[in-house]
Amino acid sequence: MGLINLHTHSACIDKEITVRSCQPHEMAELHHEEYTYLTVGIHPWYIDNKEESYHRLEEAISNEKVIMIGECGLDKVWGPTLDIQEASFRRHIELSEKHQKPLIIHCVKAYNEIIAIKRELKPKQAWILHGFNSTMPIMEEAFNAGFYFSFGKAVLNPNSKASHIIKEVPVNHIFLETDDSAYNIRQIYQKVADFKGVHITQLKSIIQDNFNKIIKK
């Protein structure tokens, strides 16, 4: 069994276990056989406030390969106003709970808001902060609120926040991803294994257990 790549926008390579992220309108265009699994959501940059978009999203969720909802979330740098983003985010949360599928979250400079929403709503489904690259206090606050963390190319940069905190993140709350980068998921696994002082096969097994837990396999 391959390495789990929890979030990618690229085609499947090297027979790894990929979770391809897409928008609802992209579902018909994808060659689904290229991907192990799919996650579908309305990215905060592309919210159009049309009810049709949410109907299309819920239809897409019924695809047997869709195992997570998102990416969705809050972004204070790009996208519409934060109140519009939050309304869309809450729609995704409702769908996550209704369909019992984890939520994969895009967050830019809005960790406090997202943590507060999770504490308010107390969702039963897992929430994963994708491409996590923030500070130790934010990580600790999010961990205490029950979040999972998906790390990507930032761990390969010795000057990144992610590379500084990865040793402190409990392994039972870690996932790894390539997102839209050109890196191979194995490079990211090897770097994190080195940070954690474990063999890559042990890290692979831990992340497989994490994956099975959140998608209830």
Four-residue CA torsion sign, 156, 185, 209, 39: positive
CATH superfamily of 4-213: Metal-dependent hydrolases (3.20.20.140)
Contacts for 141-148 with beta carbons within 8 Å, 24 or more apart? 141/111, 141/115, 142/111, 142/115, 143/169, 143/170, 143/173, 145/115, 145/118, 145/119, 146/118, 147/115, 147/118, 147/173, 148/173, 148/174, 148/175, 148/210, 148/214
Q: 148 in the Ramachandran plot: left (φ > 0), alpha (ψ -120 to 50) or beta?
A: beta
Amino acid type, 77: V
Please list the pLDDT of the chain residue by residue as tens digits (217 residues): 689 999 998 766 556 889 999 999 887 777 656 678 999 999 999 998 889 999 999 999 999 899 999 999 999 999 999 999 999 999 999 999 999 999 999 999 999 999 999 999 999 999 999 999 999 999 999 999 999 999 999 999 999 999 999 999 999 999 999 998 889 999 999 999 999 999 999 999 999 999 999 997 5
> For residues 62 and 74, what is the distance between their CA atoms, to the nearest angstrom?
25
pLDDT at 81: 96
pLDDT at 32: 57
Taking the C-alpha atoms of residue 129 and residue 175, their distance in angstroms, rounded to an integer, is 10
* Exposure on the CB side of residue 166, measured as CA atoms within 13 A: 30
Q: Which of 75, 5, 68 is nearest to 43 (CA)?
A: 75
